[in-house]
Structure 1
Amino acid sequence: MSTTTFLINGVSDALISPLDRGLAYGDGIFRTIRVINGQPIAWQAHYAKLLADSRRLYLPCPEAASWQEDLGRLFADQGDGVAKLILTRGIAERGYAVGDHAIPTRIVIRSSLPLYPDRNASHGIRAYLCKTRLAHQPLLAGIKHLNRLENVLARQEWSDTVISEGVMLDQDGLVIEGVMSNILIRSGTILATPDLERCGVDGITRQRILAIAPSLGLIPAITSLTLTELMNADEVLMCNSLYGVWQVVDFNGRTWPLGQLAGRLRQFLQE
């Protein structure tokens, strides 16, 4: 592995200023990407989402070539791992007002892939119903912004290592997402995922799964998802860009037999 583990604006020994708005206000966005043999998986989709999120926040986004150059340097050994891309509004004087002269801060971090147990994929996972609720904010809904305190609080609710993920509801009690994942359910031939118009993160893997669902004979649907509907589903899946897809087999007092859909989706995502 390369000895360089991060770059800030393309510089390996740079530091983050205490005046950076990403630190002061969480004024920025990020992406987390799996890298295999030095290649970021689904790069075009990740950059498109980075660009779309930055536009939602009126945040100038560097060209794709700048990010790709950083990734190439950090993964010059053609190794595997995780790339985290962070974009902040940059250095500015105190206060919420956005000045005209702030230069965005571009950060790329290389780290090892988390050591997820193999049985999560082969046998399914146990999930926990979080007490922390997601607040509604349509202006930020779907964006992977730097304000993730709701998820931080939710993750502190359990320490049992047999629990792999938490299910988060919104302030109205609707199912929204996992602490680090998106959620999908299969009911017959319908593959549904929660509507994220008011809160939650619209993940790339979620988007990719919805796109390939018809090729698996499934009808994709984005809908307001109740906890009862999730509990009555034939299969419950959780997904993100690092582990792909896991099936939930134990949640909130119900168990499900291990199905085939999670494995099929993982195969499609890898292809």
Structure 2
Amino acid sequence: MNNTWVNGVASNQVSITDRGFSYGDGLFTTIKVTDSRCELLTEHLVRLQQGITALAIAQVDFKVLLDEISAIAKSLGSGVIKIVITRGEGKRGYSSIGCDSPTVVVSTSLLPEIYQAWQRDGIALGVSTIALGINPLTAGLKHLNRIEQVLVKQQIDENQWTDAVVLDCQACIIETSMANLFWRSGDIVYTPNLDFSGVKGLMRQQVMAHLNADGVEIVEDRFKLSSITDAEEIFMTNCLIGVVPVVAIESKHYEIGRITQQLQAMLNSKDTNG
């Protein structure tokens, strides 16, 4: 069952003058809950704080927020907690003067069961023709301006794809509609540079840290679509799906590779050990 709290009070409504509604003026994070425990909780809270700082939103009481989501996770057991923070209510126009009371929305949902099948069997991707814009000011942030992703998802649904590779307006690989991308050729793992577009996912950070610790070379750069064609393995990551193999991009097929399997085993070990 879905439940929603607005500023700590059970509610499914926000003001029509809220800047999150009017301008997408805010940010969010989505947390996987397992055995009443929020996974990567510290990292999620740090990302929210970084976003608040980057967007110059008034400070949120993180102790209150932590207590709230911990209690929610305990009652939820397993599923998903989403936190949305907006600049709060404002007057007409873009100016944020006087917007000193952020809105904090916490909601819960079930974790889609299909993710387990994706982890086991992998998924096939299309290639979206909806290009992402370039904006280094907001690149990497999980802000509320998601209209590009909405348009990409419309194309995915129209073509009955599971997901799609998404490029920026300079035809460089950025991500999929929901996840970050990695691929391996030889002993080197590649992933797109996200300093100009896209979301720097927390699972992406975890994967890169794990590969670095294992001595795996990672190349982070701006790649054209042709760079991924001859990869020996491809996988995608986010906090909810974990590590999912990519078994096809359009008509090109790929095997589920050793790095993908090692990363999945690492994540499963963490889940088992709490």
1:63 aligns with 2:64: no
Where structure 1 has 5 or more consecutive residues not aligned to the other structure, the ranges are none
**Contact 2:19–2:25 (Cα < 8 Å) also in 1:** yes
- Whether contact under 8 Å (1:87, 1:105) holds in the other structure is yes
Aligned pair partner of 2:46 in 41, 45, 48: 48
Q: Deviations over 1:98-139 (max 9, x none)?
A: 113431001111111122154321221100100100011111
Aligned AA for 1:148? R
Deviation at 1:226, TM superposition (A): 1.5
Partners in 2 of 1:12 and 1:106 — Cα distance? 12
Give the secondary-structure state (helix, strand or coil) at the position aligned to 1:177: strand
User: Structure 2 vs 1, CA of residues 160 and 25 (structure 1 numbering), >3 Å: closer, same or farther?
Assistant: closer
Change (3 A) 1:76 1:118: closer
In the TM superposition, what is the alpha-carbon distance from 1:190 to its structure 2 partner? 1.4
How many pairs does the alignment contain? 269
CA distance in structure 1 between the partners assigned to 2:130 and 2:77 by the alignment: 37
* Structure 2 equivalent of residue 172 of structure 1: 170
- Give the gaps of 5 or more residues in structure 2: none
Secondary structure, aligned partner of 1:69? helix
Equivalents in 1 of 2:71, 2:59: separation in Å? 20
Is the aligned partner of 1:230 residue 2:228? yes
Corresponding position of 1:261: 259
- With over 3 angstroms needed to count, the CA separation of the structure-2 counterparts of 1:167 and 1:262, relative to structure 1, is same
Q: Is the 8 A contact 1:126 1:162 kept in 2?
A: no
Instruction: Encode CA deviations 1:162-185: one digit per residue, 9 max, x unaligned.
Output: 732111000011000110000111
The answer to whether residue 84 in structure 2 is matched with residue 73 in structure 1 is no
Distance in 1 of aligned mates of 2:74 and 2:159: 35
Give the match for residue 194 of structure 1. 192
Are the structure 2 counterparts of residues 161 and 240 from structure 1 closer, same or farther at C-alpha, using a change threshold of 3 Å?
farther
Tell me, in whole angstroms, the C-alpha distance in 1 between the residues paired with 2:21 and 2:156.
27
Answering whether residue 132 of structure 2 is matched by residue 127 of structure 1, we say no
Distance change in 2, residues 1:178/1:161 (3 Å): same
Give the match for residue 5 of structure 2. 7
Q: CA offsets, 1:173-220, max 9 Å, x none?
A: 100011000011112221121011111011000011000003444112
Q: How far did residue 160 of structure 1 move?
A: 7.4
Match 1:18 to one of 11, 16, 19: 16
Distance 2:71 2:116 in 1: 30
What whole-Å deviation, never above 9, does each CA across 1:72-112 have from its counterpart, x for those lacking one? 33233251000101000001111101113431001111111
* TM-score, with structure 2 as normaliser: 0.92
Q: Distance in 2 between matches of 1:12 and 1:167?
A: 38
Q: 1:40 to 1:117 in 2, by over 3 A?
A: closer
- DSSP-derived class of the 2:200 partner: coil
Aligned partners of 2:159 and 2:215: how far apart in 1?
35
Q: Which moved more, 1:70-79 or 1:138-147?
A: 70-79
Q: What TM-score, normalized to structure 1?
A: 0.93
Change in Cα spacing, 1:63 to 1:167, as seen in structure 2 (3 Å) is same
Q: Does 1:107 align with 2:105?
A: yes
CA distance in 2, matches of 1:161, 1:68: 41
Structure 2 SS opposite 1:248: strand
SS of the residue 1:141 aligns to = coil
**8 Å Cα contact 2:156/2:162 also seen in 1:** no
State the Cα distance separating 1:21 from its structure 2 match. 0.3
SS at match of 2:261: helix
Q: Which residue of 2 aligns with 1:246?
A: 244
* In 2, Cα distance between equivalents of 1:61 and 1:204: 22
Q: Percent identity?
A: 32
Structure with the higher fraction of residues in helix conformation? 2
The secondary structure found in structure 2 opposite 1:136 is coil
SS of the counterpart of 1:212?
A: helix
1:241, CA displacement in angstroms?
0.5
Matching residue within 28, 32, 49 for 1:34: 32
Confirm or deny: 8 A CA contact 1:54 1:61 kept in the other structure: yes
